[in-house]
């Protein structure tokens, strides 16, 4: 069981790395394998994390509906106190916010991003915090013309990136 969990985590991380390198088809295949492996473990937090990895690649491919469905599946699960579950919930909240493309949803998007930011802070998930702050700035405050808020949120995101040595995100 521990071997399967470690392998699943490795697949999730490798898929993310491949996505960042622009190797989307390889990232997609690995994300699907990670989800299959996670389902075999029966660990809900790991299954949720793998679902969100697959959702991220779907989103990158322009498959917003599939990404949204995977995110909703994660949020439909009862919250668990473990770190993989919290990370998956943050990713699901961010994904739903990104999938709301219509300007009418700005209010809903703002609430999703605030929830993701709050949960990231509680879980100590720096990457989620950074992404939530940036998405809030770019997807909510800038379209509203709230430039001071957008600059403040992005400045905090940059501070997180630099303080956590997240150079690829800075």
Q: Give the pTM.
A: 0.88
Q: Cα–Cα distance between 101 and 90 in angstroms, integer?
A: 19
Q: Cα–Cα distance between 76 and 65 in angstroms, integer?
A: 16
**Residues 69-106: pLDDT tens digits?**
999 999 998 887 778 789 999 999 999 999 986 555 55
**Residues 25-68: pLDDT tens digits?**
999 999 999 999 999 888 888 899 999 999 999 999 999 999 99
Q: Cα–Cα distance between 41 and 68 in angstroms, integer?
A: 24
């Amino acid at each position: 069981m521990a071997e399967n969990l470690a392998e699943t985590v490795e697949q999730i991380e490798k898929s993310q790395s491949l996505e960042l390198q622009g190797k989307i088809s390889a990232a997609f295949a690995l994300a699907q394998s990670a989800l299959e492996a996670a389902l075999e473990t029966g660990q809900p937090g790991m299954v949720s994390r793998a679902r969100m990895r697959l959702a991220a690649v779907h989103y990158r491919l322009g498959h917003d509906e599939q990404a949204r469905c995977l995110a909703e599946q994660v949020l439909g699960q009862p919250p668990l106190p473990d770190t993989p579950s919290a990370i998956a919930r943050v990713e699901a909240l961010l994904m739903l916010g990104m999938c709301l493309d219509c300007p009418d949803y700005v209010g809903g998007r703002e609430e999703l991003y605030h929830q993701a930011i709050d949960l990231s802070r509680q879980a100590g998930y720096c990457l989620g915090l950074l992404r939530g702050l940036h998405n809030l700035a770019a997807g909510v405050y800038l379209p509203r013309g709230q430039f001071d808020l957008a600059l403040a949120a992005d400045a905090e995101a940059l501070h997180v990136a630099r303080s956590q040595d997240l150079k690829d995100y800075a």
